[in-house]
């Protein structure tokens, strides 16, 4: 199982492609994931939503409205209210061209949602995975479906032995449930900016260490005392979401184990990595 001393890559920091290389291409689409792979990232991060018919799709929001374009009666409202077939009628790339015309590409039009099954089938153990359970309380069975896919694609043992898969969530209940289903799979507790709520980091992180192997803190939480508390608790530290090279450099200096970023190429440059050699 990964820990603070073994999870570091050769260059010392794990490059985690947040929703793929989502600064350059529409989040959670094939172009975003393909570009991240070309950049030689350590982890691909798919947020998971569950469709009405039980498929896990790579999709951030609980509703379709922000990133889906298409028939109003289908491409709006909760993801959980639609089947996979219905959601695949929606274009999930066009919004990026609308919002970022300077980064727009014709290839981003008419992109369809990607399932976790498809992602695992395409890249398997060629990259490490960082799936997040989104809204697990609203979609019972999400954790079971995730573990079934991890096992079906032969990733379970590698996840346990070398951290091939790290499962993250903002929901402690989801992580506890995952632990009850398979106690050996590594888990990471995500932390919003207000997670400390006046409490000492040491107390919070030692509590998390009873059920998780790492924390994914909002970058604003990470300072020297936080890092000392995390190390004392034996936790990995993977802050999110960092796109500014100066901020990346600051976090690297503090000793984080990895960084979530929409621009993996920027972190690669900072770390002096050549994607072609990774």
How many whole angstroms separate alpha carbon 126 and alpha carbon 129?
10
Find the DSSP H helices in 53-163.
84-87, 94-99, 116-123, 142-152, 156-162
Task: Examine the residue annotation and report whether 60 is marked as an active-site residue of this protein.
Answer: yes
Which residue is catalytic, options 18, 24, 28, 238?
18
What is the DSSP track for 192-212? -TTSSTTS-HHHHHHHHTTT-
Pairing relationship of beta strands 258-261 and 132-133 according to DSSP bridges: unpaired
> Residue 232 gets which letter from DSSP?
H
Q: Is residue 58 within 8 Å of residue 90, measured between CB atoms?
A: no
| Rg (the chain; Cα; Å) | 18
Which residue is catalytic, options 24, 28, 55, 60?
60
Task: Examine the residue annotation and report whether 153 is marked as an active-site residue of this protein.
Answer: no
Q: Is residue 237 within 8 Å of residue 230, measured between CB atoms?
A: yes
How many whole angstroms separate alpha carbon 205 and alpha carbon 145?
28
Q: Is residue 62 within 8 Å of residue 135, measured between CB atoms?
A: yes
List the catalytic residues: 18, 60
């Amino acid at each position: 199982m990964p820990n603070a001393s073994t999870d570091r890559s050769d260059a010392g920091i794990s490059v985690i492609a947040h929703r793929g290389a989502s600064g350059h291409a529409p989040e959670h689409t094939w172009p975003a994931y393909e570009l991240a792979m070309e950049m030689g990232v350590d982890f691909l991060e798919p947020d998971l939503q569950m469709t009405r018919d039980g498929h896990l799709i790579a999709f951030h929001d609980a509703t379709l409205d922000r990133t889906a374009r298409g028939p109003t009666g289908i491409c709006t409202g909760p993801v959980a209210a639609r089947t996979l077939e219905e959601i695949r009628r929606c274009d999930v790339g066009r919004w990026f061209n609308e919002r970022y015309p300077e980064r727009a590409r014709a290839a981003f039009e008419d992109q369809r949602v990607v399932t976790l099954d498809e992602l695992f089938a395409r890249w398997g153990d060629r990259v490490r995975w960082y799936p997040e359970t989104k809204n697990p309380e609203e979609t019972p069975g999400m954790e079971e479906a995730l573990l079934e896919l991890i096992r079906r694609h032969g990733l379970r043992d590698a996840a346990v032995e070398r951290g091939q898969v790290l499962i993250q969530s903002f929901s402690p209940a989801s992580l506890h449930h995952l632990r009850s289903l398979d106690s050996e799979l590594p888990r990471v507790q995500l932390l919003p900016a207000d997670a400390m709520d006046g409490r000492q980091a040491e107390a919070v992180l030692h509590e998390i260490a009873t059920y998780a192997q790492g924390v994914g803190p909002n970058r604003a939480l990470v300072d020297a005392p936080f890092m000392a508390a995390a190390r004392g608790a034996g936790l990995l530290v993977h802050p999110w979401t960092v796109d500014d090279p100066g901020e990346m450099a600051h976090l690297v200096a503090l000793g984080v184990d990895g960084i979530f970023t929409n621009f993996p190429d920027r972190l690669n440059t900072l770390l002096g990595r050549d994607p072609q050699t990774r």
